[in-house]
Amino acid sequence: MKPEARIKELTEIINRLNHEYYVLDCPSVTDQEYDTLMLELQELEKEHPQWASPLSPTQRIGGQVVAEFAKIAHKRMMLSLANGFEKDDVLAFDRRVREALGVAEVTYMTEMKIDGLAMSLLYRDGRLVYGATRGDGTTGEDVTANIMTIRSIPATIPVTDEIEVRGEVFMSKRTLAAINEERAAANEPLLANARNAAAGSIRQLDSRIAASRRLDAYWYYFVNAASFGIKKHSESLLFLEKLGFKTNPERRLCHGIDEVLSYIDEYAHKRPRLGYDIDGIVIKVDALDLYERLGYTAKTPRWALAYKYPPEQVVTKLEDIVFTVGRTGKITPNAVLTPVRVAGSTVGRATLHNKDYILQRDLRIGDQVYLHKAGDVIPEVIGPLKERRVGTERVFKMIERCPVCEAPLEDVEAIAYCRNPRCDARHIEGLIHYAMKDAMDIEGLGEKNVEYLFNQNLIRAIPDLYHLQEKEQALLDLDGFSHKSVASLLTAINQSRAKSLERLLYGLGIKEVGEKMAKTLARHYETIDRLMAADAEDLQTIGDVGPVVAASIVRFFADENNLTLISQLREAGVNMTYLGPKMAARSSPFFGKIVVLTGTLSQYSRQQATALLEELGAKVTGSVSAKTDYVIYGSDAGSKLTKAAALGVAAISEDEFTNLLSST
pLDDT digits (tens, 9 = 90+) for 346-377: 889 999 999 999 999 999 999 999 998 876 67
CA distances from 366 to 87, 348, 386, 429 (A): 36, 14, 11, 29
Residue pair 415/352 in contact (Cβ under 8 Å)? The answer is no
| CA separation for the pair 568, 504 (Å, rounded) | 13
Residue 644 clears pLDDT 60, i.e. is over it: yes
Contact 420, 403 (CB under 8 A): no
Domains of the chain: 3-61 (1.10.287.610), 83-308 (3.30.470.30), 313-417 (2.40.50.140), 424-496 (1.10.150.20), 501-571 (1.10.150.20), 594-663 (3.40.50.10190)
Tens of pLDDT, residues 447-489: 889 989 998 999 999 999 999 999 999 999 888 889 999 999 9
Q: What is the spatial distance between Cα 420 and Cα 407, in angstroms, rounded to a whole number?
A: 6
437 is catalytic: no
Between the alpha carbon of residue 533 and those of residues 107, 349, 475, 536, 548, the distances in Å are: 55, 43, 39, 10, 18
Q: Which residues pair with 340 in a beta bridge?
A: 347
CA distances from 334 to 299, 318, 320, 321, 353 (A): 33, 10, 8, 5, 7
Query: Worst-scoring range by mean pLDDT, 234-243, 281-290, 432-441, 642-651?
Result: 642-651
Tell me what pLDDT residue 344 has: 66
pLDDT value for 400: 93
DSSP 45-102: HHH-GGG--TTSGGGGG---B-SSPPEEE-SS------EE-SHHHHHHHHHHHHHHHT
Q: What whole-number distance in Å separates Cα of residue 181 and Cα of residue 170?
A: 19
Classified as helix, coil or strand, 468 is helix
Quick one: what percent of the chain has pLDDT higher than 90? 51
What is the C-alpha end-to-end distance of the chain, expressed in Å? 65
User: Strand pairing of 107-114 and 278-285?
Assistant: antiparallel
466 within 8 A of 572, measured Cβ to Cβ: yes
One of 2, 8, 87, 113 is an active-site residue; which one?
A: 113
Q: Is the pLDDT of residue 99 over 90?
A: yes
Which of 254-263, 296-305, 435-444, 486-495 has the lowest average pLDDT? Answer: 296-305
Closest CA to 148 of 199, 107, 208, 190: 208
Residue type, 175: T
Tell me whether strands 594-598 and 619-621 are parallel, antiparallel or unpaired. Answer: parallel
Whether 62 shows a pLDDT value over 80: the answer reads no
Output the CA angle 309-315-317, nearest 5 degrees: 140
Could you give the residue ranges of the DSSP H alpha helices within 87-206? 87-101, 144-147, 173-185, 194-202
How many C-beta atoms lie closer than 10 Å to residue 355's C-beta?
19
**CA atoms of 145 and 162, how far apart (whole Å):** 20
CA distance 318 to 145: 45
Average pLDDT, the chain: 88
Q: Give the residue-averaged pLDDT of 590-618.
A: 82
